[in-house]
Structure 1
Amino acid sequence: MKKASFSKWLFALMLVLLLVLAACSGDDSDEGSGDTDTDKKTEEGTDDGEDAEKGEGEDGIYSIDDFGVDKTNEGEAIEGGTLNYGLVSDTVFEGVLNRAFYEGNPDYEVMKFFDEDLLAYDNNFNYTQDGAAEWEIDEAGTTVTIKIRDNVNWHDGEPVTAEDLQYAYEVIGSPEYTGLRYYYIEDVVGMEEYNAGDAETIEGLEIVDEKTLAITFNEPNPSLIASGLWTSPLPKHIFEEIPIAEMPEHDAVRVNPIGFGPFVLDTIVPGESVTFTANEDYWQGAPKLDGITLKVVAPQTVANALETGEIDVVDSFPTDQYPDVEETLSNVEFLGEIDNSYTYIGFKLGKWVPADADNPDGAGEVEMDPDAKMADVNLRRAMWYAVDNDAVGERFYNGLRWAGTTLIIPAFPDYHDDTIETPSFDQEEAKKILDEAGYEDTDGDGFRENPEGEELTIGFASMSGGDTAEPIANYYIQAWEQVGLKVELVDGRLMEFNSFYDRVEADDPAIDIYQGAWGTGTDVDQRGLYGRTAAYNYSRYASDESDALLADGASAASLDIEHRKEVYKEWQELMVEDIPVFPTLYRSKLVPVNNRVTDWSIQASWNGYHEVGLTEEEPLLP
């Protein structure tokens, strides 16, 4: 793991002052963010002024390599019991509880207990035969056949069928579909015609028998064997009478959703809590637990909830709080891994043009604006050089986050290229770039005007959350001010999670740059985040070169892993050259688990919620 150096005492002093100011104001913001698959993930982190002064003269720096991924069992599991699960978030979960329609990671955290994908994968994110369905691919590399196991049933007792999986493709491919998953299925034979309304069926889908579906794609694609398939069926017997455009708001999604996972959703308090009961008919066997109670827990109170036994385990613990609780939370074991996510600064370079009368042949695409405020790559490059992300990772997260370099993260070791030279903290270089590009302070107010001599004020959107959000946002603003750039928070404040993404997705003209975070999912294919037709491409960047590389990375040629590595190396280099976004921090994921819990794991391949047990009726205390 890359270690940050922290000898810059002036920078340290500034961070301390920022944290003290935040503590005095009583603000508990965080940098915020968003998803799984290629969706928003909730940002972690809280801190306070006292913590910020730790580490001067002390080590205080941790490595994710010091943590395990499997819970150490401390006794035999009793029969039954209820696990208390904490969803760490400063906001309510939206409650879109279906894989075809949800956007935010909080909703995924609810869904994972009662629903799952049909195919399982290993720790390298390659499909295995261990899931609810088996699969095979033909010699041409274009047709994948998925056979659902006979004992896989929906929670209402109906079997999960090939028709249910086909129906999911029909819904997502429909012109009436309002979600963001079309990129998963757009290469299926006949999907383009179906999406455009020119065909009533999808040519590339064939029901072989009640439990078997064959899916044929236009071209061979390495993602077909590496976590890039859509394998979440939709219960047709429930949804077929619901208009597709109305599905995300329907009770079948928000009030009484069903799945085929190990637990059944029993009751829901919208946005706040959910109770689950064991699915005795689960295809892997009845769960050991009687049930699970999930509740939203604020980042500011999560440590106390663990200490008092209010919760047994959380989805992800704020890494900046770990030094405070490392010794005091003796009733839990901390698991840890490199997270499939990263924080980034994005630049608004255009807009999203949805499919309509003016764009009848597509599902929507990016349209760059050559006159966008952030269109000059020199301005973007200077802003990258101006910030010290190594120091932010050490000072706010004690080394459990560290400076990002490229847009393919270390969680994909076959593809992440740490040899690529990327901008690192050098404010003199930032000033030089701006000077040479014509950004000068012509009126003597301390801020640079643009090359045309016009006032330059950059609108910055960043999310609320825990205590670190405001000081980190303020640090970036002050770092850019130090090189002569005037950057201001949009509306003068941090934005709530859902509002942030609503405005970023809508290309709000007040937003010139934004700070977010991506959950990368398990497929290294970058088209879902940065493709020309990807709705998640929030920077609205596209180029012919990027299009070609992304297509090559998903081509038959890239079934050769060495070829695919070279393609994504070139793409990473292009993103460092063009800078539509730049990564700020790679992230660790810490998961505390109460000592009474058995058989919990955070390995990528783990799908064992039914095997989790408890050694005691009540949570163990310190």
Structure 2
Amino acid sequence: MKKKIVSVITASVLSLTMLVGCAAKGNSDESSSGAQKQSTAKDKIVYALDTAPTGVFNPLISSTRYDANVNSVVYASLMQVDDKGGLKNYLAEEYSISEDQKIITFKLKSKAKWHDGKPVTAEDMAFTLQSMANGKYTGKNYDDVEKIKGAKAYHEGKSDSIEGIKVKDDTTITIEFEETYAPALTNLSTLGIIPKHIWSQIPIENWEKETKALNAPIGCGPYKVTKFESGQYVEFEAAEDFFEGKPKTSKLIFKVVNPDTIQAELKSGNIDIAGVKDMRKSDIKALNTEGLKSVEFSDFMFQYMGINLRLPIFQDVRVRQAFMYAINRSLMVDKLLEGRGEVVNAPMLPTLWGYPKASDINDYAFNIDTAKNLLKEAGWEDRNNDGVVENETGEKMHLTLKCPVGSKTREQSAVIIQESLKQIGVEIEILTMEFSTLMEEVVSNHEFDLYMMGNTLSLDPDPKPFWHSSAATDKKGVQGYNIVSYKNDKVDQLIEKGLSTLNQEERQGYYEEIGKILNKDVAQVYLFLQTNEMMYNGKLKGYEPSTFNNFNNVHNWVIE
């Protein structure tokens, strides 16, 4: 699940008080030879998805990586993450930070337009921020604006406006915070901006039900949606008024492809770009000989098995720890990933700062005996020799594992988990379903024992959206991204401390401590971080994917 795409801003960067500008670089002034070359280029690029978007094409309320793919090319943010993990200006012409580091000023590019021709203004940015602070807002981004001056009063209905948000003119907006807020610049500058003239006409509590507006979004990014066929594809056409120049390729298609057919589809030319991290190395090499190219980079999503901590059976940490010991996660990396990844032991990206030192956490090395002993200590043992453990009342440990279809590696991991837990007397029934169904049953209605999912994280390792008690909900129909409902006062305190300082060394200490606690508590079964690998048409130019921006430079993609 992906909260937002952000980048690390160190204290030295945040202390800048001068304006940092970045001129827009368009492609409209091509030479005659360039124009002639463009005329022979392919008019469309087909990008493969292994899981279908749900159709929630609004960045403020979307909650899946697959909808985020669509939103990333339809909407624009003030800044983007570049291929080195830094921030670069995008919709913003320039920005500045006050000396006390509590006020950020953004100046937008004046020529930006929405896909319906209306100008993009600072009022749209103000409306985007205000929407996230609305008490009836159902999305997951309130944390991003909570510390803006006056946002809490507005959220609680005590004020009609947010004092800290000021529109100076059509292209200038200032955002003032009550106190220092470490992720402020990254979180707000990389958020997709929505059009006020569209979404202000719809009650915010009804946004998720407004299928027409969601399926045919109006953004100001390089491409606009022309057709969405649920479960099959999304078609886009180039936005001629895009503020960085008309995209070089007139059509873009996101096509939902069965993972089993990706190799054939790439070879035949039916798709031009596809994720192949689940493909065998030998198959990738074979495609390389066909003229296709591949690129590897670290992913920002780790795989895990969620545990419903609301259930009495999982409130004993020894049961959760037993599961970690019983699953051979190293085998998953070696066999399923062919070594292209690493085991994780805390719900953070091991490639980034904030992840605890290996010597400070339990690696839960595969050990069936240890797992069985932990279950026995927790009161679960095979009392009648039928191969399944029971508690003192005779209740058997029979659990359901919900797994979304689409990722072959995730589905295979579920089977390995089922077989592993069987060895310690735990019966697992696997239920496969569409990702949208899983989201409804697990995230919205909290109806699960166990589930398989990937957690998409950001370069700024703020754990509040996933691990703060305020991010958990037990109310049916209300989404909470602390999905497992983990609550720990010490973790809450450490999270708050980490958000209140710009000193990265201090923040790192707080987050490492959080990682150690979550490692011991086994708030979910942490599996592995898989290396991302994309394969693409050998004639594709301008394709520069990176860990936090798979659609970097998309307006300059072209197949020649």
Moved more, 371-380 or 321-330: 321-330
Letter in 1 for 2:326: A
Assess if the C-alpha contact under 8 Å between 1:346 and 1:516 holds in 2.
yes
Look up the match of 1:524.
461
Secondary structure of the structure 1 residue equivalent to 2:418: helix
Look up the match of 1:186.
146
CA, structure 1 residues 228+343, in 2 after alignment: closer, same or farther (shift >3 Å)?
farther
**Which runs of at least 4 in structure 1 moved beyond 6 Å after TM superposition?**
none
Assess if the C-alpha contact under 8 Å between 1:409 and 1:416 holds in 2.
no
- Residue 221 of structure 1 deviates from its aligned partner by 1.8
Secondary structure of the structure 2 residue equivalent to 1:289: coil
Given candidates 559, 564, 581, the residue that maps to 2:507 is 564
- Residue 302 of structure 1 deviates from its aligned partner by 1.3
Look up the match of 1:333.
293
Look up the match of 1:146.
106
CA, structure 1 residues 168+226, in 2 after alignment: closer, same or farther (shift >3 Å)?
closer
Look up the match of 2:20.
none
CA, structure 1 residues 517+251, in 2 after alignment: closer, same or farther (shift >3 Å)?
closer
Secondary structure of the structure 1 residue equivalent to 2:95: strand
The question of 1:580 aligning with 2:540 is answered no
Look up the match of 2:314.
374
Moved more, 410-419 or 440-449: 410-419
Assess if the C-alpha contact under 8 Å between 1:126 and 1:227 holds in 2.
no
Equivalent residues in 2 for 1:47-446, closer than 5 Å = 78-79=38-39, 80-90=41-51, 92-122=52-82, 125-129=85-89, 131-227=91-187, 231-250=191-210, 253-314=213-274, 316-329=275-288, 330-350=290-310, 372-413=312-353, 415=355, 417-422=357-362, 423-446=364-387
CA, structure 1 residues 334+101, in 2 after alignment: closer, same or farther (shift >3 Å)?
same
Cα distance in 1 for residues equivalent to 2:212 and 2:142? 21
Equivalent residues in 2 for 1:444-455, closer than 5 Å = 444-450=385-391, 454-455=395-396
Letter in 2 for 1:519: T
Assess if the C-alpha contact under 8 Å between 1:300 and 1:466 holds in 2.
no
CA, structure 1 residues 380+505, in 2 after alignment: closer, same or farther (shift >3 Å)?
same
Q: How many pairs were matched up?
A: 519
Cα distance in 1 for residues equivalent to 2:84 and 2:148? 25
Assess if the C-alpha contact under 8 Å between 2:405 and 2:435 holds in 1.
yes
Cα distance in 2 for residues equivalent to 1:318 and 1:591? 7
Letter in 1 for 2:57: L
Assess if the C-alpha contact under 8 Å between 1:117 and 1:231 holds in 2.
yes
- Residue 506 of structure 1 deviates from its aligned partner by 3.6
Cα distance in 1 for residues equivalent to 2:395 and 2:272? 56
Look up the match of 2:429.
488
Letter in 2 for 1:174: N
Assess if the C-alpha contact under 8 Å between 1:127 and 1:227 holds in 2.
no
Cα distance in 2 for residues equivalent to 1:377 and 1:163? 49
Given candidates 537, 542, 547, the residue that maps to 2:487 is 542
Letter in 2 for 1:118: L
The question of 1:503 aligning with 2:466 is answered no
Given candidates 459, 474, 477, the residue that maps to 2:415 is 474
Moved more, 451-460 or 533-542: 451-460
- Cα deviation, 1:565-618, whole Å, max 9, x if unaligned, reads 111111110101111113201111111110111111112467311222222xxx
- Residue 446 of structure 1 deviates from its aligned partner by 2.3
Letter in 1 for 2:139: G
Moved more, 123-132 or 321-330: 123-132
Look up the match of 1:608.
553
CA, structure 1 residues 285+150, in 2 after alignment: closer, same or farther (shift >3 Å)?
same
Larger proportion of helix: 2
Secondary structure of the structure 2 residue equivalent to 1:146: strand
Cα distance in 1 for residues equivalent to 2:488 and 2:280? 41
- Residue 471 of structure 1 deviates from its aligned partner by 4.0
Cα distance in 2 for residues equivalent to 1:226 and 1:110? 21
Cα distance in 1 for residues equivalent to 2:444 and 2:380? 29
Secondary structure of the structure 2 residue equivalent to 1:447: coil
Letter in 1 for 2:4: D
- Residue 164 of structure 1 deviates from its aligned partner by 0.5
- Cα deviation, 1:453-505, whole Å, max 9, x if unaligned, reads 5433233222223555554322212211212223333xxx3222111111112
Look up the match of 2:22.
none
Cα distance in 2 for residues equivalent to 1:87 and 1:150? 34
Secondary structure of the structure 1 residue equivalent to 2:279: helix
So what's the TM-score if we normalise by structure 1? Answer: 0.78
Secondary structure of the structure 2 residue equivalent to 1:214: strand
Cα distance in 1 for residues equivalent to 2:151 and 2:369? 51
Assess if the C-alpha contact under 8 Å between 1:36 and 1:518 holds in 2.
no
Percent same amino acid at aligned positions?
25
Cα distance in 2 for residues equivalent to 1:393 and 1:111? 31
Letter in 2 for 1:505: V
Assess if the C-alpha contact under 8 Å between 2:136 and 2:204 holds in 1.
yes
Secondary structure of the structure 1 residue equivalent to 2:202: coil
Given candidates 520, 532, 549, the residue that maps to 1:589 is 532
| Structure 1, gaps ≥5 residues long | 1-33, 40-74, 351-370, 616-622
So what's the TM-score if we normalise by structure 2? Answer: 0.86
Letter in 1 for 2:97: I
Cα distance in 2 for residues equivalent to 1:38 and 1:485? 38
CA, structure 1 residues 385+228, in 2 after alignment: closer, same or farther (shift >3 Å)?
farther
- Residue 125 of structure 1 deviates from its aligned partner by 4.3
Letter in 1 for 2:433: M
- Residue 310 of structure 1 deviates from its aligned partner by 0.6
Secondary structure of the structure 2 residue equivalent to 1:219: coil
Assess if the C-alpha contact under 8 Å between 2:149 and 2:176 holds in 1.
yes
- Residue 131 of structure 1 deviates from its aligned partner by 4.8
Letter in 2 for 1:161: T
- Cα deviation, 1:342-363, whole Å, max 9, x if unaligned, reads 001221113xxxxxxxxxxxxx
Secondary structure of the structure 1 residue equivalent to 2:175: strand
Assess if the C-alpha contact under 8 Å between 2:215 and 2:228 holds in 1.
yes
Assess if the C-alpha contact under 8 Å between 2:45 and 2:249 holds in 1.
no
